[in-house]
Amino acid sequence: MEKIYSLNERGIKLGLENMGKAMSASGIDLKGTRIIHIAGTNGKGSTAATLYSLLREQRPDINVGLYTSPHLVEYNERIVVNDKMISDEEVAELSEAIFKMTSQIPITFFEFTTLLAFMYFKHKNVNYAVVEVGLGGKLDATNVVEPDVAIITSIDMDHMEYLGNSLESIALEKAGIFKKGSKAIISRTNCSELLQNEALKKGLNPVYTMGQNFDYHLNSDGSFDLIKDKKTLYKGLNKKLNGDHQYKNASCAIMAMELLGISGTRESVSRALNKVSWKGRLEELQINGKTIIIDVSHNKEGMLATAEFMKAKYPDKKIYTACGFMNDKDYNSMIDIISTFSQKMFLIPTIVKGRELGISGYKQALSKHHEKAILCNDYKDAFNKVTDNDGVILFTGSIYNYEQLKALLGV
């Protein structure tokens, strides 16, 4: 693993040239695998996990793979086939082969991990592979695949240093996963018309856009109906993942299943939706009589969804939030959002190399929210202070908080 992690020193390099060479050098061919490629500012991981669960439930007779990023605790989480993570032994064996075959190609950490996933899928004879884009779309390492279905879940401002400073430029980068011969699913989001036009221009058929030729209807009991071409396809579906935004993600996943030619019943689809495991996304825990939510929202759109959930789920309860952010995120806007539902905010200096947000980074928040904001020394200090309150506890702000917090929680 040390050798794999050392590739992080090469940083992030968007582009497909090295990935194309590495795929050829490694002899990886996924032409026999039906691929669903998923991009989006937010929601792509949840949609991927949901679609994977749907395929496993409806077709237990076939091999289904899931590739997502980043991992929360273990590297192996990124690569799953038939509900089993790739083992340490398999990582070691395949890594040795990849390093040998790509020794003359300066691949990055993410390119290497993508190669590992694809090689593993080939070795496991995966029939369906659900592949989450790492960053953007057009120049992401995963974009060497030829998908059966391409899904875009949302467009918002994030990773602007790589994708551009406008919603339109970000949308065009993500639309890079659209390829002729594929089917397209576009969720309800910014720039949906631009995305639809890009899909049609590139010859994708059919193109399903939420709010036009498919949608969901929310019922009073919390279940939802899926509507396709003005007809109710599934009625009274139930989901497990928290947050109203998960109705959109579940609907896109079900549509992808349908476009792959796989159908289920109301019972089997609901069963699959209730088996979805996607940790760190409004994950609710009960520990020592306290309600604790762990959420890895790390951009403005994600934090707005978190705020909507917290306000709706706990309207009469006091909420105390501990949050830590990376320095390349719009953390002041996220802190503003957190302040709308939190009694107190415990700000955590973060320690990810090159992206750390130190004490000085919180000056604006401490000044603006001086009645609510409390600066902490580190994760342990924040944990002790926030859990000393009676009310609902929320930990949020970054994917990189997760491992630290789970260790402190002892779960």
Checking if the pLDDT of 353 tops 90, the result is no
Spacing of C-alpha 360 from chain mean position? 30
Q: Longest C-alpha distance within the chain, in Å?
A: 60
State the pLDDT at residue 352.
83
Render pLDDT for 14-23 as a digit per residue (tens, 0 to 9). Answer: 899 999 999 9
pLDDT, the chain, mean: 95
pLDDT value at 262 more than 90:
yes
| Residue 1 predicted with pLDDT over 90 | no
3-state secondary structure the chain: CHHHHHHHHHCCCCCCHHHHHHHHHHCCCCCCCEEEEEECCCCHHHHHHHHHHHHHHHCCCCCEEEECCCCCCCHHHHEEECCEECCHHHHHHHHHHHHHHCCCCCCCHHHHHHHHHHHHHHHCCCCEEEEECCCCCCCCHHHHCCCCEEEECCCCCCCHHHHCCCHHHHHHHHHHHCCCCCEEEECCCCCHHHHHHHHHHCCCCCEEEECCCEEEEECCCCCEEEEECCEEEEEEECCCCCCCHHHHHHHHHHHHHHHCCCCCCHHHHHHHHCCCCCCCCCEEEEECCEEEEECCCCCHHHHHHHHHHHHHHCCCCCEEEEEECCCCCCHHHHHHHHHCCCCEEEEECCCCCCCCCCHHHHHHHHHHCCCCEEECCCHHHHHHHHCCCCCEEEEECCHHHHHHHHHHHCC
pLDDT of residue 351: 82
CATH number of 283-409: 3.90.190.20
Architecture of domain 2-273: 3-Layer(aba) Sandwich (3.40)
pLDDT in tens, 156-208: 988 888 899 999 999 999 999 999 999 999 999 999 999 999 999 999 999 99
**Taking CA 152 as the corner, what is the angle to CA 151 and CA 157, rounded to the nearest 5 degrees?**
165
Phi and psi based region of residue 34 (left: phi greater than 0; alpha: psi -120 to 50; beta: remaining): beta
Does 89 score more than 80 pLDDT? yes
Phi, psi torsion values for 369, nearest 5 degrees: -120, 45
At 157 the pLDDT is 86
| 10 pLDDT more than 90 | no
Whose tokens are 């989901």? That residue is 239
| pLDDT single digits (tens) 274-287 | 999 899 999 999 99
Pick the closest to residue 297 from 63, 58, 45 (CA basis). 45
Position 354 scores a pLDDT of: 82
Evaluate if residue 411 carries a pLDDT over 80: no
In angstroms, the Cα distances linking 62 to 18, 81, 236, 252, 352 are 32, 10, 27, 22, 40
| CATH 3.90.190.20 domain residues, the chain | 283-409
Give start-end residues of each CATH 3.40.1190.10 domain in the chain: 2-273
Q: Given a cut of 80, is residue 267 above it in pLDDT?
A: yes
Tokens, residue 274: 């209730």
Q: Model-level pTM?
A: 0.93
pLDDT digits (tens, 9 = 90+) for 47-66: 999 999 999 999 999 999 99
Is residue 54 within 8 Å of 128, Cβ to Cβ? Answer: no
Band of pLDDT at residue 128, cut at 50, 70 and 90: very high
Q: What percent of the chain has pLDDT over 90?
A: 90
Q: Which has the higher per-residue pLDDT, 388 or 354?
A: 388
**What is the pLDDT at residue 176?**
98
**pLDDT at residue 344 greater than cutoff 80:** yes
Q: Tell me, what's the pLDDT at 13? A: 86
What are phi and psi for residue 59, nearest 5 degrees?
-130, 70
Share of the chain above pLDDT 70, in %: 100
Q: 407 or 131: whose pLDDT is higher? A: 131
Per-residue pLDDT of 291-310, as tens digits, reads: 999 999 999 999 999 999 99
User: What is the C-alpha to C-alpha distance for residues 383 and 361, in angstroms, rounded to an integer?
Assistant: 20
